[in-house]
Structure 1
Amino acid sequence: MDIRFDATTVHYADGTCALDGVSFTVPAGQFCVVLGHSGAGKSTLLRTVNGLSAITGGRVVVGGKPVNRKTLPFLRRRIGMVHQHYGLTARASVATNVMAGAVPAMPFWRAMSGFYTPALQDKACALIAAVGLDEAHLARRADRLSGGQQQRVGIARAFMLDPAIILADEPVASLDPRLSREVLDLLRTQARERGATVLCSLHQVDLARDYADRIVALQGGRVVFDGPPAMFDDYDAKRIYAKQDAAAPVQAVLA
């Protein structure tokens, strides 16, 4: 499923411009990394795809459907999300946290009661194994896990509904370099096995170069680079991480 941003703009009530006319398309199956310093608009961009951030101009189109109140119930079943701070329920078990990824497709009464079918339970177990956690972790509370283990649970949860799109918002921001690569390896592998599109925000240039099919860099809510990792050099990195008022856009067209 592809993602298209058409002059996408987000202004907040306090006058802040989070996104300023962003336009680019992420083809189905691509692993696209969004780079930029804090406040560049990365998280806001990702959140416009599943409606968590409302746009004030332009549009976002997912799989040919514009993101709006009418389409969001359907689209959210096709979009998984991996959060920077894991987004787990601390006192719930690993298995329960993973099965919660199926809630958007469940009847209201079942979601409220926490009743998960045997099929969902089996799927959760398979996903937990796929991200490298053994059976001993199934009943363990999420707050008893290490950061790397918690993010593995977050990835398993994100794939519960076999999403066509994964939004990964700074998924390795709290992890050390070794665990960061392990988590990104898992995310890329699980996405490729399912043909899922990934839109992933990162700070780390080296990880973007190693894992992305494409890099889009934001600065001040605007696209200042769009191209393959091989075209993103140290000069570009210095430009996007320089002070915003001292930098000028650098454009590179995706080959």
Structure 2
Amino acid sequence: MMDIRFDNSMVHYPDGTCALDGVSFTVPAGQFCVVLGHSGAGKSTLLRTVNGLSAITGGRVVVGGKPVDRKTLPLLRRRIGMVHQHYGLTARASVATNVMAGAVPAMPFWRALSGFYTPAWQDKACALIAAVGLEEAHLARRADRLSGGQQQRVGIARAFMLDPAIILADEPVASLDPRLSREVLDLLRTQARERGATVLCSLHQVDLARDYADRIIALQGGRVVFDGPPAMFDDYDARRIYAKQDAAAPVQAVLA
């Protein structure tokens, strides 16, 4: 199990855009933490600093006691799975191949390049595909022949190929209808709890955040404006963070 710590984390782009502005909080190991905020609030950037896809320009991000940097990333990425908003699958590849691709960070370069997966990896992919509610018949089916909900199930299976200690889920249900959204979040929460994984999940939907989060972090203008349990996130907070403002003063954190 691993925690995530943001210490005055900043991401400033060369054009002057401030994506994160001094973010500080810790996600304890095993917590399902939902990040809320309107488009451009900094949610995706926050998640991407954890696996090094977005480089911080100030402060630091610490995962499992190790700062995220060039030296630690190769090993850290083996412990971090990611679920993407638009599934992130290879459209023409089979479901089985897409799921096994989640093992690439732990494979020798030559093996990853050749696409050769050991029987153990193949068995693991089959088990995960079954665990996310897909049938054996889906194994050979092309990813682009699946429905949106099925594709996101494949994405979740792939994210768990290496039994990660941390799952980053970037708007995982943004493209799904309400019923499928809940099915996917149920699945994500169940798989994470079975493994004791920490989840950092960005969402737009307040009702889903209240129902699935152990804790809600709200961002506005790259700054934390709410930090607390779902029961304390009321309609006033929702209106405030989704108001069209570029920045807001931080609110004192209220921890569960």
TM-score of the aligned structures, taking structure 1 as reference length: 0.99
Contact preservation (8 Å) 1:231, 1:252: no
Contact preservation (8 Å) 2:37, 2:203: yes
Secondary structure (helix, strand or coil) at the match of 1:245 reads coil
C-alpha spacing 1:246/1:47, structure 2 compared with 1 (3 Å): closer
1:237 aligned partner: 238
- Over 4 Å off, 4+ runs: 245-248
Paired with 1:53 and 1:108, the residues of 2 have a C-alpha distance of 23
Contact preservation (8 Å) 2:222, 2:247: no
1:17 aligned partner: 18
Secondary structure (helix, strand or coil) at the match of 2:211 reads helix
Give deviations 1:193-237, integer Å, cap 9, x for gaps.
000000000000000000000000000000000000000000000
Deviation at 1:248, TM superposition (A): 4.5
Secondary structure (helix, strand or coil) at the match of 1:244 reads coil
Deviation at 1:160, TM superposition (A): 0.1
| Deviates most, 237-246 or 34-43 | 237-246
Contact preservation (8 Å) 1:3, 1:27: yes
Contact preservation (8 Å) 1:142, 1:150: yes
Tell me how many residue pairs correspond in the alignment.
255
Secondary structure (helix, strand or coil) at the match of 2:75 reads helix
Paired with 1:30 and 1:171, the residues of 2 have a C-alpha distance of 17
Contact preservation (8 Å) 1:239, 1:248: no
Paired with 1:55 and 1:246, the residues of 2 have a C-alpha distance of 19
C-alpha spacing 1:246/1:95, structure 2 compared with 1 (3 Å): closer
Paired with 2:248 and 2:222, the residues of 1 have a C-alpha distance of 13
Deviation at 1:246, TM superposition (A): 7.9
Deviation at 1:156, TM superposition (A): 0.1
User: Is the counterpart of residue 112 in structure 1 residue 110 in structure 2?
Assistant: no
Paired with 2:224 and 2:230, the residues of 1 have a C-alpha distance of 15
Paired with 2:140 and 2:247, the residues of 1 have a C-alpha distance of 52
User: Is the counterpart of residue 93 in structure 1 residue 94 in structure 2?
Assistant: yes
C-alpha spacing 1:116/1:246, structure 2 compared with 1 (3 Å): closer
Paired with 2:123 and 2:246, the residues of 1 have a C-alpha distance of 53
Deviation at 1:251, TM superposition (A): 3.3
Paired with 1:170 and 1:99, the residues of 2 have a C-alpha distance of 22
Contact preservation (8 Å) 1:209, 1:229: yes
Contact preservation (8 Å) 2:129, 2:135: yes
Deviation at 1:182, TM superposition (A): 0.2
Secondary structure (helix, strand or coil) at the match of 2:216 reads strand
Secondary structure (helix, strand or coil) at the match of 1:77 reads helix
Paired with 1:246 and 1:93, the residues of 2 have a C-alpha distance of 44
Contact preservation (8 Å) 2:221, 2:247: no
C-alpha spacing 1:13/1:181, structure 2 compared with 1 (3 Å): same
Deviation at 1:247, TM superposition (A): 5.0
Deviation at 1:241, TM superposition (A): 0.3
Give the percent of matched residue pairs that are identical in Structure 1 and Structure 2.
96
Contact preservation (8 Å) 1:8, 1:19: yes
Give deviations 1:164-211, integer Å, cap 9, x for gaps.
000000000000000000000000000000000000000000000000
Alignment gaps of 5+ in structure 1: none
Paired with 1:106 and 1:94, the residues of 2 have a C-alpha distance of 19
Secondary structure (helix, strand or coil) at the match of 2:9 reads strand
2:35 aligned partner: 34
| Deviates most, 241-250 or 124-133 | 241-250
Secondary structure (helix, strand or coil) at the match of 1:224 reads strand
TM-score of the aligned structures, taking structure 2 as reference length: 0.98
Deviation at 1:47, TM superposition (A): 0.2
